[in-house]
A and B are shown apart, each in its own frame.
Chain A
Amino acid sequence: MDTLFKKSKKQIFAIFSFLFLSLILSTNTFAADGEKIFKQNCAVCHTLGKNKLTGPGLEGIMTRVPSEKWLFDWIKNNKAMIAAGDAYAVKVFNDNNKADMTVFASTLSDEEIQATIDYIKAPPAPTTPAGPVAQTSGEAAPQEEGINPLAVLLGVIAFLIIIIAVLRGVRHSLTNLQNEKMGLPEEEAVGPWTELKNWIYTHKRTTTVIILIITGGLLTSGWYALKGIGVYADPETKAVYHPDQPIQFSHKIHAGDNAINCQYCHSGVEKSKTAGIPSVNVCMNCHKGISSGATTGTKEIAKIYEAAGWDVEKGEYNKPQKPIKWIKVHNLQDFVFFSHQQHVTVGKQDCANCHGDVKEMTTVKQVSPLTMGWCIDCHRKTEVPGMKDNPYYESLHKRLAEKYKGEPITVDKMGGIDCVRCHY
């Protein structure tokens, strides 16, 4: 009896603990389901905070709505409630620009709606992203404050001139002192220019060599200086032009990690002369939802909102717009014609051929010199793939193939290096 009682006690305990466990588990699964359902169906329009997306933010929703039952009915079929003239339902509908909310009567079961409400009531604490802590200054490493070598040179020259003047004076007075002792007449003071002239007369060959060296130096450095005009790359260090932009936009994150196609933002590349810097509304296509980045937190994305006039809390464009002053990196002069459309649509050139591996760049660098020599080099080597299937060029292509038997028909063979092709 004793043992039996013990056994049953154990059994009862086991049953209770099982029930308790299953209860915990079941509530847990409900909460988890609610989260899943929320993410799949609601999060597209609602946040759990107070920020408005398409629909209002859900923070403090339970204190706003008349009752939980009301919320349940609203999720199930909001249109029916509006049609029935429920006062709060009509108010919510009008407050949100009469934007339709999806009717979930057919897609979500009653239990699922309840799970969602449970989740909205007690959402898990938001996991804050790394945020502004990890603010990096990108590649803008603090520039070393070196001393200007030109200033050093000028200083040295000035110092040498002073020393020469002093030494000349010393020598002059010493000679005079000696002359005085030996009873010779006092030496006349000779100006530095006269002395230099005398030296030049006596050292004609050395003077010629020095003049030749100086002229040669000037000519070579002048030649290199001319070659550097309009070329943004430093010939020695290979450092290239990569200016700081008003927003620390990273192509590595957007085009690299997120694999957004170049043309999503630079959508003019196939249709126009310029590839185009995207307007802020293109940024907002994604950043309406993504307000915090991995490296700079909300700091940089807030600049987009400011430019677009987007009010994060109210979820609408209600502020004045301010265009972002992006700095153009690849800048061609007005005296040369260049069309992206031609190169991308017919020439079938990949963006990276001229712009380098932008997917790996945090700040965009100008990797190509954009000089005429660089253009022509490419025109001498490249064929035009887009011409082959284009009936418009058919007869021309046939004639060219006859003319250059077997040779690849590169751009220069069809007039691609004529002056007027680009300069007109």
Chain B
Amino acid sequence: MNKKITKVISLMAVFGCVAIAFTSCGKHDANSPGVEFMPDMYRSPSLESNMAYVKIENGKETGDTMQANRMPVAGTIPRGFMPYAFPDSPEGNEAAKTGAKNPLQKNEKNLKDGEVLYGKFCVHCHGATGMGDGAVGLKLPGAPPAYTAPDKINMTEGELFQIITYGKGLMGPHAPLVNQEERWKLVLYVQKLQHPNGVAAPAAAADSTATAAAPKEEAKKK
């Protein structure tokens, strides 16, 4: 009888020890990514976007790190990219005013795309209707001016494009975020916000007859 009890106790002790030993390793640390299988598949020695790498100068590792993202080699341009002719300078702004022309047609699809882009890239400062009342805009030291302000409402498409590309005042350059085609779509939508009853596309008719109106406009442009 006595022996049996000791047996049971020793069994339980051994089992308990094993159980404790294997659960003790599961302590969680929010900063630790945990066990990784083949760590160089997670943190690749080859360059991946958005990762920091040790900077190498003259064949020697330096203490600095750098981003994997590289600037294009000087004098080259990416495929499918057209350089923009007007520089970020007072002269460039002046020249773009009349010189930069929107290559896109003002049709329903482009306006719709512009609206979607506007909701992603502009609305938080400029507000849904372009009055400069977005949540971030109100936190800025000066809210962005309304698109319909007297000195803004008659801006040419070239001026608008120049501002989206290079920024103005508190607004930063947005060329890295939206490509040229997208910027021209944004220009179309901003112009629609400025002139909801615009000469080219009356707002009331825009929804129902836009598809019908679009070919007409194309014809006009030709």
Contacts and interface: CB of A to CB of B under 8 A. Distances in A.
Interface stretch (B17-25, B96-104, B188-196): B17-25
B51 interface: yes
B173 interface: yes
A243 B30 contact: yes
Contact of B50 (A143, A225, A276): A276
B174 A258 contact: no
Select the residue from A146, A148, A234 with max chain B CB neighbours within 10 A: A234
B interface SS class: loop
B220 interface: no
B83 interface: no
B33 A331 contact: yes
Nearest to B67: A323
A137 interface: no
Interface residues of A, number: 77
Contacts of B178: 267
A253 to B, nearest CB: 10
B35 A153 contact: no
A40 B124 contact: no
Nearest to B135: A258
B59 interface: no
Given A106-B150, A153-B24, A288-B170, A43 B18 contact: no
Contacts of A277: 50
Interface in A286-307: 286, 288-290
A326 B68 CA distance: 13
Given A102-B151, A217-B19, A239-B28, A206 B7 contact: yes
Contacts of B37: 229-230
A289 B173 CA distance: 14
B2 to A, nearest CB: 14
Interface stretch (A14-22, A170-178, A208-216): A208-216
Contacts of B34: 228-232, 241
A258 B136 contact: yes
Interface string B191-209: 0000000000000000000
Contacts of B163: none
Interface in A127-159: 140, 143, 146, 148-150, 153, 157
A99 interface: yes
A63 interface: no
B90 A274 contact: no
Interface string A179-196: 000000000000000000
A282 B121 CA distance: 11
A213 B30 contact: no
Interface in B1-37: 7, 11, 14-15, 17-37
Nearest to A231: B34
A149 B124 contact: no
A107 interface: yes
Contact of B18 (A99, A213, A281): A213
B141 A323 contact: no
Interface residues of B, number: 72
A69 to B, nearest CB: 24
Contacts of A273: 49
B140 A237 contact: no
Interface string A328-345: 100101110000000000
A328 B51 contact: yes
A100 interface: yes
B56 interface: no
B145 interface: yes
B167 to A, nearest CB: 8
A284 B177 CA distance: 13
A234 B173 contact: no
Contacts of B17: 153, 157
A286 B174 CA distance: 11
B212 interface: no
B123 A290 contact: no
A78 interface: no
A286 B35 contact: no
Contact of B169 (A44, A243, A267, A328): A44
Given A244-B30, A257-B135, A334-B40, 14 more contacts: A40-B145, A99-B90, A149-B23, A210-B11, A214-B14, A214-B18, A234-B28, A241-B32, A261-B124, A263-B120, A267-B178, A288-B172, A326-B50, A334-B48
- Rank and list the top 8 A-B pairs by shortest CB-CB distance, nearest first: A43-B142, A285-B172, A221-B22, A44-B142, A149-B24, A217-B18, A333-B41, A44-B169
